[in-house]
Amino acid sequence: MSFFKKLKETITKQTDSVTEKFKDGLTKTRDNFSNKVNDLVSRYRKVDEDFFEELEEILIGADVGFDTVMELVEELRREVKRKNIQDPREVQAVISEKLVDIYESAGETSTELNIQTDGLTVILFVGVNGVGKTTTIGKLAHKFKSEGKNVLLAAGDTFRAGAIEQLEVWGERVGVDVIKQGAGSDPAAVMYDAVQSAKSRNADILICDTAGRLQNKVNLMKELEKVKRVIEREVPSAPHEVLLVLDATTGQNAMIQAKTFKEATDVTGIVLTKLDGTAKGGIVLAIRNELEIPVKFVGLGEKMDDLQEFNAEQYVYGLFADIVEKEAAEEEEE
């Protein structure tokens, strides 16, 4: 059974609505990436060095990241040699398989959040301004509330004009209270109040917003450390998750942000927003492979339920949906 047939069977066992969200959300990347791979495969009669060089360019153009591309193409060379593949069309399935392998071999792959079953779960959101942090917090709060959980939000971004109000709008929209102080307040003091409120209300989950920009990087990271210390003092095992929000449309700039935040704080997972708005969705693989941090959620649209748990098979299916469907149908006929 080919990899595409296996992938199709794996996807079929999962929820149709999730499959459609990944397929629709990755349309721009698929149109960019898959079409170029298809064109490459149709132009070559054999798999040679020129073929691999063009493939490298396509992968780099999809923002897969230079180091990841070199690793992937080297793996492909070995696999092509081992299986004695001559027909370029057969390389498509190998590429898909290796993309899943690269994602799953880079350490911890679980997308599940570290939710406490017998007490308060504190989730800290970090990331620069403009990446969709507040919107993501709102959507995640909606997800938890629809699961029957008692959720509170903490307005810890007290520096950006309008940040507190923006979080309040989301709180009203999803029916969740927001713990806040005035603009310019000490974010650590807001977190202290929020934790006390969460405890007194027997909240299940406290989601904390943080500043995305201070005068400089050092100040921002010091502020995050201070916030974390206050949370940890009040809830010794917290924060249970530190989620870094990145904008997929910024490509390699998102990688730079991820490295900066990883150096300063214990990032446990990535939320990649606006994946539906970029033709360079390969950034998922670059982040995963080079930083070894799992991508826990991806934004695949504007709707409330378009924030989806990341799934490597669904992602690769989203990249190659047309080819997967075609190859799987052909195998069924044989």
- Torsion angle, alpha carbons of 230, 189, 152, 295, to 10: -50
Q: What is the CATH number of domain 3-109+315-333?
A: 1.20.120.140
pLDDT tens per residue across span 141-170: 999 999 999 999 999 999 888 999 999 999
Asked whether 75 and 98 are in contact (CB, 8 A), the reply is yes
CA atoms of 146 and 144, how far apart (whole Å): 5
Contacts (Cβ under 8 Å, ≥6 apart) of 240: 113, 114, 115, 116, 121, 122, 123
Is 21 labeled as ligand-binding? no
Q: Is the pLDDT of residue 330 over 70?
A: no
Q: Please check whether the two domains, 3-109+315-333 and 121-313, share a CATH topology.
A: no
Is 117 labeled as ligand-binding? no
pLDDT of residue 171: 96
CA of residue 12 relative to chain centroid, distance: 22
Is 128 labeled as ligand-binding? yes
pLDDT of residue 14: 73
Q: What is the CATH number of domain 121-313?
A: 3.40.50.300
pLDDT of residue 286: 84
Residues of the chain with pLDDT > 90: what percent?
44
Q: Is the pLDDT of residue 254 over 80?
A: yes
Q: Is the pLDDT of residue 11 over 70?
A: yes
Contacts (Cβ under 8 Å, ≥6 apart) of 105: none
> Does residue 278 or residue 14 have the better pLDDT?
278
Asked whether 245 and 253 are in contact (CB, 8 A), the reply is no
Alpha-carbon dihedral sign for residues 244, 248, 249, 250? positive
Is 130 labeled as ligand-binding? yes
Prior bond of 294 cis (ω within 30°): no
The two beta strands, 205-209 and 151-155, are parallel
Q: What is the pTM of this model?
A: 0.89
Q: Is the pLDDT of residue 114 over 60?
A: yes
Among 23-27, 204-208, 310-314, the range of highest mean pLDDT:
204-208
How far lies 24's CA from each of 103, 249, 274, 306, in Å?
A: 21, 16, 12, 11
pLDDT of residue 109: 61
The two beta strands, 205-209 and 177-179, are unpaired
pLDDT tens per residue across span 94-108: 888 888 787 777 655
Q: Is the pLDDT of residue 120 over 90?
A: yes
CA atoms of 93 and 100, how far apart (whole Å): 11
Q: Is the pLDDT of residue 290 over 60?
A: yes
Is 324 labeled as ligand-binding? no
Is 101 labeled as ligand-binding? no
Is 307 labeled as ligand-binding? no
pLDDT of residue 157: 92
| Mean pLDDT confidence for 313-321 | 83
| Mean pLDDT confidence for 109-137 | 90
Lookup result for tokens 């080079």: 290
CA atoms of 314 and 311, how far apart (whole Å): 5
pLDDT of residue 242: 95
pLDDT band of 333, cuts 50, 70, 90? low
How far lies 303's CA from each of 123, 125, 143, 299, in Å?
A: 22, 20, 12, 9
Q: Is the pLDDT of residue 234 over 90?
A: yes
Is 273 labeled as ligand-binding? yes
Is 48 labeled as ligand-binding? no
Instruction: For the chain, give every domain's residue range.
Output: 3-109+315-333, 121-313
Q: What is the mean pLDDT of the chain?
A: 87
